[in-house]
Structure 1
Amino acid sequence: MSNFSNDAKLLLEAVGGKENISAVSHCATRLRFVLNDAQKADIKKVEAIKSVKGTFTQAGQFQIIIGNDVATFYNEFTKISGVEGVSKDEAKVAARQNMNVLQNLIAHLAEIFAPLIPAIVVGGLILGFRNVIGDIKMLEGGTKALVEVSQFWAGAHHFLWLIGEAIFHFLPVGITWSISRKMGTTQILGIVLGLTLVSPQLLNAYGVAGGEAAPFWDFGFAQVKMIGYQAQVIPAMLAGFLLSFSELKLRKVIPQSISMILVPLLSLVPTVLIAHIILGPIGWAIGSFISNIVYKGLTSTLRWLFAAIFGFAYAPLVITGLHHMTNAIDLQLMSEFNGTNLWPMIALSNIAQGSAVLAMIYLNKDNEEEKQVSIPATISCYLGVTEPAMFGINLKYIYPFLAAMIGSSIAAVFSVGTNVMANSIGVGGLPGILSIQPQYMLKFAIAMVIAIVVPFVLTVVFSKTKMNKKQEAV
């Protein structure tokens, strides 16, 4: 008999039985339930199960943190319950019935960017490494960079540019592909659409904004400027969705016998034309507006206030799922300003949550059962995955969560106040320093110390106050 047999039986009862489960799947650490009636789930009973490290509801799904053994637990649960498991994508579709318009929008945004994150993280690390070996004068008395004294490192610096350009310069290709993949349309058409937005024939939109005259396609009665949208997010998203919607509509009206020819032709060609005439310029203007607003907020005289609010509020945003919207803003900042000063605050928030759990380990050093949850949660949090720490420990006791928010806010103020800039999105924890531009690494390291020390101290202090006593009485 499996070690999880009894816990699986208890969980089935606690979520309201087999008849209350619309769908169940799992990810790396969590079970994901779509329940017919969320009110029938007894959260206290669920969290009392030994294998359960925490629960939360997000994107229409009741999610239960199990840890690294989630796949084994999931197999035992589906066996005992008789509920047939589904894929994560199928569970997300089923969860749509429990989501409002805003939640649906956020979920769609998250699903578009999630497949791109690994490449973006790698790209950020490569840019950071190239800056270290190419820009920091670390040799011969601080007069020369590594690439100036070593042909090997000069060659590596030149070679790595190829990968960095492929990731960021051609980002629209990844976005249009991801949208077609998510919408269930022809993925190669999404790739082709993205390539038409970044073709070497096209003058970059930033060049046009800088006063360069763009070439054009001359149709006799009209001329269309040959402008590219390299590294742009919103033009690619608008074009990607138009292509997918067009293809889906055409599939319904064109006979199947000729659909293989007409659907790709009639969906792709008009979309490319509309993208260059309408969607590209509109998307570029929207993206520039958003990035300028955020950048001005982070560089104005009131930047300390912006940073304090964002640093304090980011962790609650994670609970709601709204944090996924920052991916698009970060990418837009990167394309406009060659870096992002928003992402460093996100990494600091993750570190702060882990530090609060570290304090809980110290406070409960004699509680072996709690350490089984808190130690892996701390390690995970410091490596950028915050859910086990937040939902398994910090939200359970409340005051560590508050301590982490305050520490994150103070660290964010220091980060923004010292103009810390990241090359791109990176690993959202301690390794995040590798994505910081070299001239700001020391300042970011100080911000990291703040994000470690302040939440730890505040958690210990709060544990000795009425805040903790009130929590224990609940």
Structure 2
Amino acid sequence: MSKYSEQAKELLDKVGGSENISVVTHCATRMRFVLNDTSKADEKAIEDIDIVKGTFTSAGQFQVIIGNEVASFYNEFTKISGADDSSKDEAKEAAKQNMSLIQRLVSHLAEIFTPIIPALVVGGLILGFRNVIGAINLVNDGTQTLAETYQFWSGLYDFLWLIGEAIFHFLPVAITWAIARKMGTTQVLGIVLGITLVSPQLLNAYSVAGAEEIPFWDFGFTQIDMIGYQAQVIPAILAGFVLSYLEIGLRKVIPSVVSMIFVPFFALIPAVLAAHVILGPIGWEIGSWISDIVYSGLTSAFGWLFAAVFGFAYAPLVVTGLHHMTNAIDLQLMSDFGGTNLWPMIALSNIAQGSAVVAMIYLNRKDKQEQQVSVPAAISCYLGVTEPAMYGINLKYLFPFIAGIIGSSIAAVISVGSGVMANSIGVGGLPGVLSIQVADILAFCVAMIVAIVVPILLTIILAKTKMGKDAYQRLGK
């Protein structure tokens, strides 16, 4: 018998039995249920199961936080429950029956970026490591970088850009592939479409202003500029959806016996043409407009206010799932301004929520059962995974969550007020410092200290107020 058998049986009973499960799957830390009747799930009883770190409902799914053991627990649960071992895509489709229009739009955006987040995180770490060896004067009394002093580090610095370029400059390839994957269309066509947006034969869009002559395709009656869309998000999203909808529409009208020949042909060529004639230029303008507004807002005289609001609201956005929208904005800022001033605030929000959990570890230091949840939750939060901390501890008590968002807001004001910029999206939490541009590392560290100290102190103070006492009484502590 597996060590998870009893807990799996208990969870099955508390979610309403096998007959109440439409779909069940898992992600990195959570079990994801689409339930036929959500009212049958006993959340309080589920949270009392030893292995469970917390529960919440998001995007039409009832989610149970397990932690790093989720894959092994999930295998045992499906064996006992007999529930369908459906794919994540099937789970999401089943969940959409419980979602509003806005939730569906956010879900679509999340499904585009979620598959490519691991690459973006790796890219952020690589750019951060290149910072350390090629941009910080660490040797010869602080006058030279490692890359300037040693051939090995110089070679490594140049080599790592091979990966960084593949991730960020060729980002449209990943986006168009992710859209094809999400839409259930031919993924290799999405890859081909993405390559046509970043092909080496195209003039990099960022070089247009300084180019003496722009190459073009000459069709006799018209000409099309050969301009690429390296690192661009909106053009890739528009082109990817056009390709997918063309393929879906063509499959409905072209006989299946010849569809393998004609569907890719009549879907890909018009999509590529539309991407370079219409969608690319329009998407470029839209992306520039969005990034200009965000960047101008954060660098204006009222940037502190924008930062305060964003720092306060980011964690609640995570609860709703709306935080996925920031990925597209971050990437657009990176392509237009060579960095993002939004990402540092996200990393600080993670740190603030983790710090609130640290305070709860201190306050509940005699509660050994809760320590099993709070200690791993704080560690994962400091490393950028916030769900166990937020749902397992902070939202359950509420007052540490409030302390966290207040601390995040203050830290965000310091970050934006100091002009902190990140080279890229990276690992959230404490490792986020690796993504920060060298000139801004000290200011970001100050903001990090605030994101650690303020939530800890506020959580301890709020625990002694009526809000804290009511929370303890409500939870029977």
2:325 aligned partner: 325
CA-CA distance at 1:221 after TM superposition: 1.8
Secondary structure at the residue paired with 1:139? coil
1:351 aligned partner: 351
- Identify the range of structure 1 (245-254 vs 338-347) with the bigger mean alpha-carbon deviation: 245-254
In 1, the alpha carbon distance for the partners of 2:79 and 2:168 equals 45
Identical-residue share of aligned pairs (%): 72
Q: Kindly tell me: are residues 218 and 357 of structure 1, through their superposed partners in 2, closer, same or farther at Cα, counting changes over 3 Å?
A: same
In 2, the alpha carbon distance for the partners of 1:165 and 1:5 equals 47
Q: Kindly tell me: are residues 153 and 52 of structure 1, through their superposed partners in 2, closer, same or farther at Cα, counting changes over 3 Å?
A: closer
Secondary structure at the residue paired with 2:56? strand
1:422 aligns with 2:422: yes
After superposition, the C-alpha distances for 1:211-235 in whole angstroms (9 at most, x for unaligned) are 7642222212222121110110010
Give the superposed CA RMSD: 1.6
1:254-273 maps to which residues of 2 (within 5 A)? 254-273=254-273
2:300 aligned partner: 300
1:156 aligned partner: 156
Aligned residues of 1:137 and 1:143 also touching (Cα < 8 A):
yes
1:60 aligns with 2:48: no
After superposition, the C-alpha distances for 1:363-412 in whole angstroms (9 at most, x for unaligned) are 11111001010011011111110000000000000000000001111111
Q: Kindly tell me: are residues 54 and 273 of structure 1, through their superposed partners in 2, closer, same or farther at Cα, counting changes over 3 Å?
A: same
1:106 aligned partner: 106
After superposition, the C-alpha distances for 1:105-134 in whole angstroms (9 at most, x for unaligned) are 111211211121122222222222223322
- Identify the range of structure 1 (352-361 vs 220-229) with the bigger mean alpha-carbon deviation: 220-229
After superposition, the C-alpha distances for 1:80-104 in whole angstroms (9 at most, x for unaligned) are 3332332222211211111122111
Secondary structure at the residue paired with 1:203? coil
- Identify the range of structure 1 (79-88 vs 272-281) with the bigger mean alpha-carbon deviation: 79-88
- Identify the range of structure 1 (15-24 vs 194-203) with the bigger mean alpha-carbon deviation: 15-24
1:37-52 maps to which residues of 2 (within 5 A)? 37-52=37-52
1:138 aligns with 2:138: yes
1:176 aligned partner: 176
Secondary structure at the residue paired with 1:301? coil
CA-CA distance at 1:468 after TM superposition: 0.9
What amino acid maps onto 2:174 in structure 1?
Answer: G
Aligned residues of 2:11 and 2:49 also touching (Cα < 8 A):
yes
What amino acid maps onto 2:88 in structure 1?
Answer: K
1:222 aligned partner: 222
Secondary structure at the residue paired with 2:34? strand
1:18 aligned partner: 18
1:30 aligned partner: 30
What amino acid maps onto 1:281 in structure 2?
Answer: P
Secondary structure at the residue paired with 2:200? coil
- Runs of 4+ aligned structure 1 residues displaced above 4 Å come to 209-213
- What is the TM-score normalised by the length of structure 2? 0.95
2:189 aligned partner: 189
- Identify the range of structure 1 (202-211 vs 147-156) with the bigger mean alpha-carbon deviation: 202-211
1:231 aligns with 2:231: yes
What amino acid maps onto 1:397 in structure 2?
Answer: Y
Task: Please list every run of 5 or more consecutive structure 2 residues that lacks an aligned counterpart in the other structure.
Answer: none
In 2, the alpha carbon distance for the partners of 1:31 and 1:140 equals 52
CA-CA distance at 1:3 after TM superposition: 4.0
CA-CA distance at 1:143 after TM superposition: 3.1
2:389 aligned partner: 389
Q: Kindly tell me: are residues 304 and 62 of structure 1, through their superposed partners in 2, closer, same or farther at Cα, counting changes over 3 Å?
A: same
Task: Please list every run of 5 or more consecutive structure 1 residues that lacks an aligned counterpart in the other structure.
Answer: none
Q: Kindly tell me: are residues 151 and 66 of structure 1, through their superposed partners in 2, closer, same or farther at Cα, counting changes over 3 Å?
A: closer
- Identify the range of structure 1 (103-112 vs 304-313) with the bigger mean alpha-carbon deviation: 103-112
1:443 aligns with 2:426: no
Q: Kindly tell me: are residues 9 and 121 of structure 1, through their superposed partners in 2, closer, same or farther at Cα, counting changes over 3 Å?
A: closer
Secondary structure at the residue paired with 2:208? helix
Q: Kindly tell me: are residues 99 and 328 of structure 1, through their superposed partners in 2, closer, same or farther at Cα, counting changes over 3 Å?
A: same
1:253 aligned partner: 253
1:457 aligns with 2:457: yes
- What is the TM-score normalised by the length of structure 1? 0.96
What amino acid maps onto 2:217 in structure 1?
Answer: W
- Identify the range of structure 1 (330-339 vs 49-58) with the bigger mean alpha-carbon deviation: 49-58
1:316 aligned partner: 316
Aligned residues of 1:238 and 1:279 also touching (Cα < 8 A):
yes
Aligned residues of 1:196 and 1:272 also touching (Cα < 8 A):
yes
In 1, the alpha carbon distance for the partners of 2:389 and 2:166 equals 35
What amino acid maps onto 2:473 in structure 1?
Answer: A
Q: Kindly tell me: are residues 135 and 142 of structure 1, through their superposed partners in 2, closer, same or farther at Cα, counting changes over 3 Å?
A: same
Aligned residues of 2:124 and 2:427 also touching (Cα < 8 A):
no
